[in-house]
Structure 1
């Protein structure tokens, strides 16, 4: 079966299974880099993990629920929002790593301290503004930094809910003329 035919015939469960597999792959790589290689995640890395986990939860619920028609759109939009959040955070991380050393923001307190001492909104705004630890390039593969790989992962992940949304919209548009006849 060709990819285009599969995509047109895939159920919400199949799309969500594909998205969940992508999220599991991204988390497996992140956990391997942390515990296998010894790279400690910076605050922006942790926020990227949160976006992967949120998208994974949406995909998991969609996989278990396997709704018809409009329900697939809801899961697609929610997963796309999670992937978009990850793209924004990973993009910010990539941008921080491209700054000249004298333009990098100074390191602030650790994420654990901020979560205990500050309101969540302040923590989010401080983390997203970035710090010196987020600008350090600690590893790369084939000349691509880890935040760049993560950004690519989120972009690929975003294609899955986009395809889910498109196929649900095409399916409901095809069903409407048939129902009217």
Structure 2
């Protein structure tokens, strides 16, 4: 039933994905500014991926030609896959923390003080903050739920690309 709806109305699905990403970003801001949780470097990378998914899906929802929305959907799918990868890596670090976890620099400090070729591996290596589980919901950490959300978005985008626009 859901797949049929995605097939019939792919642009509306893109609009809903964009709105859902904005809602998730708002929830992340709530956790940071109201609850007081400090995001780790991998969390910030996931936020950027979520922003790009929202932007690409929103642009795809506004463009009427099939070539346009498919192009933007594909870009959103790539960013959702990247976000899922980062969230899965962070979940792995939380389940199997490294023996010597040190609290590393924040994301902006890494980018400002190191060349990009050194800072990107440092981000994915994770710091002591990336392994910390400060908040859970139904037994899952923020990274676990982030992975689930990115995976659902990627599946919806994939269905829209493969089956979308067929009459």
Counting matched residue pairs gives: 167
Cα distance in structure 2, aligned partners of 1:65 and 1:121: 36
Moved more, 109-118 or 53-62: 109-118
Matched with 2:29 is 31
TM-score (norm 2): 0.90
Instruction: Give the one of 60, 63, 70 matched to 1:62.
Output: 60
Q: Report the more deviating stretch, 25-34 or 86-95.
A: 25-34
Is the radius of gyration larger for structure 1 or structure 2? Answer: 1
Is 2:61–2:69's contact at 8 Å kept on the other side of the alignment? no
Say if 1:44 and 1:134, in contact at 8 Å, map to a contact too: yes
Unmatched segments (≥5 aa) in structure 1:
175-181
Q: Normalized against structure 1, the TM-score is what?
A: 0.84
Query: Which whole-Å CA distance do the structure 1 matches of 2:159 and 2:19 have between them?
Result: 15
1:121: how far off?
3.1
Matched, 1:132 2:128: yes
Q: Which runs of 5+ in 2 are unaligned?
A: none
- Conserved in 2, the CA contact under 8 Å of 1:76 and 1:161? yes
Kindly indicate whether residue 91 of structure 2 is the aligned counterpart of residue 91 of structure 1: no
Residue equivalent to 2:77: 80
